């Protein structure tokens, strides 16, 4: 038995309130080994391999926040990042350019977070303010029988009322390796690989053609949005070079890449439709 077998399990799940076709292009831009799988109607789950975060040199809570923010930088669907390790457990919630917020539990389950995070979670995922709100409130109260891993498992149970279905074996609190093994056999599961910019653009155009972006990709409004996203993305990419932390540089670089790619897709799609006579 190796020394690592005695360490508490550590892992990270990114729960996306969007179908896999919408999640895939943004996930590819993270350039990290992950598995993407459907997780209920209107939900997807990203299961990162353990090596995805171990070379970042930052805490899992920061990694979850950075990746969740980058995934939603060019869209408005929310992402909930669940994490757990020897230091405790917690969640972050991100949606578009709204501030990413999070909540932490110590290893023994003691709450150590902000009420704002729970309010943001309820609002951004459209949870029931009474029933779901009461269940979330219970997760912030002292409970001698619930450790940190049990807390994130309880949070996943609350999200299941909103349609989340993680599938057999994908259980918050397990080690990353076991999560990847379980996710790999789920129906519809696929590895997320970086396909190169050309393939990423083609994939995004296909998603746009299926109608997920609607009127936003067409006409003057779509062109203005695309140009603004490209400008903002370029600015983020330039700013990321001067960021002080390595993890911060990666996060801002990923967010900038998402914006540039999404803006370029909007402009290319509008030009393509114009070439077809707006059909």
Cα angle vertex 134, ends 132, 139, to 5°?
95
**At CB < 8 A and 24+ separation, what contacts does 23-27 make?**
23/71, 24/192, 24/203, 25/200, 25/203, 25/204, 25/207, 25/261, 25/262, 26/70, 26/71, 26/72, 26/73, 26/74, 26/75, 26/258, 27/71, 27/192
Q: Where are the domains of the chain?
A: 3-191, 195-275
Predicted pLDDT at 249:
63
* Beta bridge pairs of residue 84: 11, 89
Predicted pLDDT at 28:
84
Q: What is the mean pLDDT for each group of 10 consecutive residues in the chain (279 residues)?
A: 52 95 85 92 92 70 88 83 93 86 92 81 88 86 87 93 94 92 94 67 51 50 65 60 56 72 73 64
Predicted pLDDT at 279:
53
Predicted pLDDT at 96:
77
Task: Give percent of the chain above pLDDT 90.
Answer: 33
Q: What tokens were used for 81?
A: 């990042």
Distance CA 59, CA 76 (A): 26
Q: End-to-end distance of the chain based on CA atoms, in angstroms? A: 63
Predicted pLDDT at 1:
36
Predicted pLDDT at 137:
85
Using only the alpha carbons of the chain, give its radius of gyration: 19
Count Cα atoms within 13 angstroms, Cβ side, for 78.
21
The alpha carbon dihedral of 107, 249, 176, 165 has a sign of positive
CB–CB of 64/41 below 8 Å? no
């Amino acid at each position: 038995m190796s020394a690592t077998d005695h360490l508490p399990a550590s892992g990270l799940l990114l729960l996306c309130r969007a179908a896999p076709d919408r999640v895939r292009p943004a996930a590819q831009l993270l350039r990290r080994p992950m598995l993407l799988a459907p997780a209920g109607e209107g939900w997807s789950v990203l299961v990162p391999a353990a090596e995805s975060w171990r070379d970042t040199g930052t805490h899992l809570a920061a990694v979850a926040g950075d990746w969740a923010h980058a995934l939603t930088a060019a869209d408005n669907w929310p992402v909930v990042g669940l994490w757990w390790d020897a230091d405790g457990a917690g969640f972050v919630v991100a949606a578009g350019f709204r501030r990413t917020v999070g909540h932490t539990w110590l290893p023994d389950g003691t709450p150590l977070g902000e009420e704002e995070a729970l309010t943001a979670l309820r609002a951004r995922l459209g949870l029931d303010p009474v029933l779901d709100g009461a269940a979330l409130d219970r997760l912030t109260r002292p409970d001698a029988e619930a450790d940190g891993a049990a807390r994130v498992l309880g949070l996943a149970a609350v999200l299941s009322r909103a349609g989340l279905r993680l599938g057999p074996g994908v259980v918050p609190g397990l080690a990353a390796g076991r999560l990847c093994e379980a996710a790999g056999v789920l129906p519809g599961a696929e590895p997320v690989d970086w396909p190169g910019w050309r393939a990423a653009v083609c994939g995004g155009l296909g998603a746009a053609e299926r109608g997920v972006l609607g009127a936003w990709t067409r006409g003057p409004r779509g062109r203005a949005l695309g140009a603004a996203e490209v400008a903002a993305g370029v600015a983020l990419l330039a700013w990321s070079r001067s960021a002080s932390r390595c993890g911060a540089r990666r996060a801002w670089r990923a967010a900038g890449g998402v914006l540039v790619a999404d803006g370029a897709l909007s402009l290319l799609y509008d030009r393509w439709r114009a070439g077809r006579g707006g059909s």
